[in-house]
Each structure stands twice: as C-alpha cells, then as structure tokens.
Chain A
Amino acid sequence: MFAYVVRRLGLMLVTLFGISIVIFFLLRIVPGNIVDILFDAAGFVDPADKANLERELGIDQPLVVQYLRWIGGLLHGDLGYSYVSEKPALDEILPRIPITARLAGLALLFSASIGIPLGVISAVYQGSRTDYALRVVSLSGLSLPSFWLGLLILMASVAMFGHIPIFNPNPRTFGEMFSTYCLPSLAVAFRSSALTMRITRSSMLEVLRQDYIRTARAKGASEASVNFHHALKNAILPVITVVGIEAAFLIGGLIVTETVFNIPGVARFLVEAIRWRDYPIVQNLVMFIAVIVVFANFTVDMLYAVFDPRIRYTD
C-alpha cells in the first residue's frame, strides 16, 4: 500500500510538471503579447517605450528563462505579478477562491442528493414509465448548456421578483443567500446530477442481479431494506468515483455560470485573464485547476480502498 501511494504521488508530480510545460509554451506559441496589445490600442508605437515595458515585465528574456523563473517562483509561493492590475497574482487569485469553492460545494451537494435517489428509483423500476421519464430527464440534463439554464433562471427571477439577482459577497438573509449561491449552483448541478443518476442507475442494475440480493429477499427483508441497505451500499462505489472526479470538473460549468450570473469567482477570472492575455494569472490558475483534478483522482482511488475492503493496492 505504502509503495503504491509513493508511486502514485511520483506520477502526479510528473503529470503536473508536464502540464506546466504544456501550458507555459502553449500560451506563447502565438506571436503577440500584452505589450503588443497595449501598444496596438494606443496606436502610436515608440520602440524604446515598448522595449522598456517588455523588460519590466520580464518578457524580453528567452522562453526557457521565463519558464524557469515561473517554476522557481512557484516553488517558493511566488506566483509573479498580474500584467493587468500589476498586483501579485496570489493576491488576485486567493480572495476569489472561496466564492467558487462555495458554489462548487453546493453544486456537488445538489447533484448527489438529487442524482443518487433518482438513480435508485430508476433502477428499481427498470423498464417502467417512471424509469423512461427519468432517463429522458437525465439525458436532457446532459444536453442543456449550463449557461442557457442560468439565463433561464435569470429570466424566471425577472418574472417573479422583477429584477435580476445581484451578487452579494456577504449574504445576510436567507433569500439573499439563496439567490447568490443556490440559484447559480443549481444551474451547474443539473448536469452533474444527471451524470450521477445515470451512473447510480447502471451500477444499481448490476448489483440488483446478484445472488445475495435474491437471498436478502428470500429471507424476508423488506423492499426498502433490500434496495437501500443491501443494494445501494454495494452499488455506491462507481458513484463515488464519478462524483469525486466530477467535483474537479465542475469548474467547466462554473466558468460559464459565473459569467452569466456575474459572480467574481476564480472561474470567471480565468476567462477574463485569457481575454487580456494576462499570462501570469492564466498559467497559475490552470496549474491550480490541474492540481485539484489530480488530487481528486488520487483521493477517489484511495477512498476505493477504504470503502471496499476487497481492494488492496499492492505493488
């Protein structure tokens, strides 16, 4: 087990190192940096000014030197400076994380508490009208773009309250909290609850065919006990995998949803930074996302061993 964990951690480092190289050079393969954009906008170009600014930002150096500087700083907790605001990148990113984390947490909660029960119902009544209807609904969950769902929610709140909910970082009343955090996270959760439901359904179907389920029925266990106690307990493992990995991938839905609801979180910040070619922000944020995804994968694998005693990592 210990050797396996060490090997996994080593591989994670290799992956993260690879991502840092890919992201860094990808952002720089196209000619044109922030200095070009600024000077293009100004119209008049004084080459001396331009060279000065480039030196100040450190982008006159060879790419390899720039890369080593970035990684070196990263290891010391120095993420460099934002090109746009000229503040330390860390100070720009950190305050935005709690907002996005709250949205992601709520979305995950919604997706599990909606997706798992519906998946169980769908599997238990396999082939019935309920099952059919639930499957169509879950498929529509995978088909509706979450930004459109967000826009529809905005439309509904205009119809009901007469105005669009405005983001309030410190909600006081329940109503404010609901419109600030719950509405956007519902828009994100619809898709992942559909995914959770589909996985729960297929996993449950597999388990319900097992002999021990028949045994449980034969000894007189109630339907509810069979479905939830005997079946769901064994069917939940693949669901944990999907929910765990989905937790990291929620960022995709959050990017568009934060844009729709005008929420100043990290996800929307990434898009803004990309538009401005604010590379210090972009590369650090992408690294941050990659770290979360890689750790989510690792945690899920470790949870497997905890939840299923048959799984022992050796090697």
Chain B
Amino acid sequence: MATINYDLELERAGAKATHGWRRLTFFARRYILGTIGLVIMVAFVLAALFADLIGRYDPLTVDSAQALLHPDMRHWMGTDSFGRDVWARIIHGARISLAVGLGSTALGSSIGVIIGLTSGYLSGWVDLVFQRIADILQSLPLLVLALVMTAALGPSLPNVIIAIAIPLIPIVARVIRANTLALREQPFVEAAKSIGMSEMRIALRHVLPNTLAPLIVLATAQLGSTILTEASLSFLGLGIPEPYPSWGRMLSESAAEYVRTAPWLVIFPGIAISLAVFGTNLFGDALRDILDPRQRG
C-alpha cells in the first residue's frame, strides 16, 4: 500500500511551497484540468444551493401565455411548453442531479465498503456468497438494473437514489475486498494482531483507513455515471416524476418534436447534464492521478 508524501512530491516537482495557499496554487497549476473540473463542480453546487436567489422565476409556475418563448433578456434560456422559465428549471434541476449523484454514490459506497470489508476479512462461505451476489448484480448493465429497480420501487426521488445505488454496491465491494485481502498480509496488521488487538478493531482502525484512497477515487469516478443514469431514467419517463425539474425529464418532454420548433429546450438541459458530468470526470481523473500514483499515465 503506497502512501503519498505530499511534501516530498512537491519538493521533487520544484515547488518552494511550504504553506497552505502556495501549495494550493501549485496543485491548481499542475493539475489544470482537475482544477477546471473542481470549478465546474463548485459552480453547480452553488447553483443548487442558491437556486432560489439566482433564478428570477419559479421553476414550477405554469403560465400558458408565456409558452415556448425564445431566449431573450427576460428568459435567458426561453420558456417551455407550459411557460416555465428554462433557466430557473435548470438551476433547480442541479439540486436533483446533486441529490441523486451524492445520495446514491454515498449510499452505494458505504454499503459496498461494509460488504467488501466483511467479505475480504472473513473469507470462507460469507465471501463466497457475497461474490456470487456481486456476479449476479454485475451481469446486468447499470441502466437496465436501475430501470428494473425503479419499475419495482416506483418513481420518486428516494427510490431513484436507491435504484442507482444498488448497482454501485458490487463495484465498490469488489475493490475494497481486493484491497482488504492485500492489506491483511501486511506486517502492520500482523503487528496489531501480535499485541492482541481484536479482529474488529484491526479491521476498523488499520485496514479501513488504508482503503480510503482507492475508495475516494472510485466514488468520484462513479459520481458522473450516477448523474448520467438519473438523466437517462428521467428521460425515459421512469425516473424523477413531474413536476420536479430534472434535466433528463426536461429533455423527454421536449424530445424529438421540439428539435425543429424549439431547439433551446433541447440544447440547454443537455449542456447542463454534460457540463456537470464533465466536471466530475475531470476532477475524478486528477484525483486518481494524485491519490493513486500507480495508475498514473
């Protein structure tokens, strides 16, 4: 298990950076793409937090007199067929994407960690059973599994979060399991055992913290795909129900027929999804380079 000495890394890279701010700017310059990703992510979080302040209109108010207006100074991104302001719906939609992205990644990762840790630590039949369940879950594409899950649970925000979290569990569990298996053979675990530490304590205090770096890398990498999956589910009409302004849902309302008549209804929600996912992917890539040097290209 390689741990990274940041001070050494910085010194080797020629940075005379000893304290906070200088180090931060050095990292920002070294990982330009990652920093761009981080900026995009922060922008979306801010939009989600202050959506009520930024948007001048309510995302849910229907006004047929204002239907399908072209983008202009009042409605920056135009209005949809119900006369709702697209800009307001997009920044409120950031809340949903963020809630689903963070919620399902957190849920899937935490269950995955528990299962991976127990599976790698106990081995034997527990491990065997978990492995077969993971096989089963992983033999369906993410979207198909999420589709069946939402169909079973019914469309609502918490159910969509659960439906997307479940396919993540085996992915996280497998990585944590492999790490745990490797860590168990490490001298420091043996040392802990020899001074009479309980297995439980070793697992939680020594093994778990050492799996954190790969876990963070993996979770960030999954963030983008959870946002994409939510968008696809809602696009298909099986995700977040009306009238919530989900980006995917906005595209399904406006799909093929508005391609000709109201292109702004197609372009802006798509840009929102792509930009959000692009930001998390850029950030995730940089994070992997920093935390997991073995994969560095």
Binding site for B on A (CB under 8 A): 11, 14-16, 18-19, 22-23, 26-27, 29-30, 126, 135-136, 139-140, 142-145, 147-148, 151-152, 154-155, 158, 164, 201-202, 205, 248-249, 251-252, 255-256, 259-260, 262, 270-271, 274-275, 277, 282, 286, 289-290, 293-294, 297
Contact = CB atoms under 8 A, between A and B. Distances in A.
B271 to A, nearest CB: 9
A256 B235 contact: yes
| Most chain A beta-carbon contacts within 10 A, residue among B141, B232, B277 | B141
A252 B149 CA distance: 15
A152 to B, nearest CB: 7
The 9 closest A-B pairs by CB, nearest first: A148-B270, A252-B143, A143-B278, A18-B136, A143-B277, A252-B141, A274-B151, A249-B141, A26-B152
Contact of B236 (A142, A256, A290): A256
Given A252-B142, A270-B147, A151 B135 contact: no
Given A143-B277, A145-B235, 6 more contacts: A18-B132, A142-B224, A164-B256, A205-B297, A248-B141, A252-B142
B123 interface: no
Contacts of A248: 141
A136 B286 CA distance: 12
Given A27-B151, A155-B263, A293-B139, A147 B251 contact: yes
Interface in B164-220: none
Interface in B216-264: 224, 228, 231-232, 235-238, 248, 251, 255-256, 259-260, 263
Nearest to A202: B297
Interface of B: 33, 132-133, 135-136, 139-144, 147-149, 151-154, 224, 228, 231-232, 235-238, 248, 251, 255-256, 259-260, 263, 266, 270, 273-275, 277-278, 281-282, 285, 295, 297
A158 B259 contact: yes
30 contacts: A15-B139, A18-B133, A19-B140, A29-B152, A30-B152, A136-B33, A144-B270, A144-B274, A145-B274, A148-B273, A151-B259, A155-B259, A155-B266, A158-B259, A202-B295, A249-B141, A251-B141, A251-B144, A252-B141, A252-B144, A255-B143, A255-B144, A255-B236, A256-B143, A262-B256, A274-B151, A286-B144, A293-B140, A293-B141, A297-B139
Main secondary structure of the interface of B (DSSP, over half): helix
Contacts of B260: 158, 164
Contacts of B153: 30
A19 to B, nearest CB: 5
Contacts of B259: 151, 154-155, 158, 164
B218 to A, nearest CB: 15
A255 B235 CA distance: 11
Given A27-B152, A148-B274, A151-B259, A274 B238 contact: yes
B50 to A, nearest CB: 24
Nearest to B284: A139
A97 B295 CA distance: 39
Contacts of A18: 132-133, 135-136
Contacts of B152: 26-27, 29-30
Contacts of A260: 255-256
A33 to B, nearest CB: 12
B237 A270 contact: no
Nearest to A29: B152
B281 A143 contact: yes
Contacts of A152: 266, 270
A270 B144 contact: yes
A270 B143 CA distance: 11
A151 B281 contact: no
B297 A286 contact: no
A158 B266 CA distance: 14
Nearest to B138: A293
Contacts of A29: 152
| Most chain A beta-carbon contacts within 10 A, residue among B143, B149, B255, B281 | B143
Contacts of A23: 148
Contacts of A275: 237-238
Nearest to B231: A145
Contact of B273 (A142, A145, A289): A145
Nearest to A271: B236
Nearest to A290: B139
A249 B143 CA distance: 9
B279 to A, nearest CB: 8
A294 B141 CA distance: 11
B149 A26 contact: yes
Contacts of B266: 148, 151-152, 155
Nearest to B265: A151
A102 to B, nearest CB: 19
Nearest to B270: A148
Contact of A145 (B33, B141, B149, B232): B232
B148 A27 contact: yes
| Most chain A beta-carbon contacts within 10 A, residue among B136, B235, B275 | B136
B223 to A, nearest CB: 11
Contacts of B33: 135-136
Contacts of A202: 295, 297
Given A256-B232, A274-B151, A294-B139, A154 B274 contact: no
